[in-house]
Amino acid sequence: MIDRPFWTERLAAGWKQASIVWLTGPRRAGKTVLAQSLSETEFLNCDLPRIHFWRDKQQREVDFVVPRARDAVDAIECKWKPDAFEMRGLRAFRALYPKGKNYVVCPLPSPGYERVEDRHKLAFVSPGELRQLTE
């Protein structure tokens, strides 16, 4: 791997300001290799061509939707607090796309849990748990 002290120093400075750092840039520029080489970090590879956003004309939305099979689409909502989750967007989305899993990602101090709301099974998970569940 090519030594990139300028970029590793910038990433270290970024982590002092925020716990998540997003690397963007042209394909095949070495972002993945750079991120994987950093110690004491968790690397999440966001396969962006497969991740989408959904919103309808009434401004109901789902943060991320991920096609899983021919007729199944997972819905992912991100909330700072689990109690802040509202079903409005997910309810509208599932009326159109009924098959798939529903995740609410939030910083949980304990293992995730499930609950049913409006006949929809919701999995409340941490970012790390989401990664394990969707791999």
Q: Which two tokens stand for residue 40?
A: 């004491």
Supply the pTM of this predicted model.
Answer: 0.64
DSSP 8-state class, residue 50: G
Q: Where are the domains of the chain?
A: 5-37, 48-134
Query: In 3D, which of 11, 61, 18, 13 has the Cα closest to residue 36?
Result: 11
Cβ(69)–Cβ(95) under 8 Å? no
Q: Are strands 120-125 and 113-117 parallel, antiparallel or unpaired?
A: antiparallel
pLDDT of residue 34: 73
Find all residues with CB under 8 Å of 121, minimum gap 6, and list them: 101, 102, 114, 115
Which class in CATH covers the domain with range 48-134? alpha beta
pLDDT digits (tens, 9 = 90+) for 24-62: 777 666 777 777 776 666 666 655 447 788 999 999 999
pLDDT score, position 8: 75
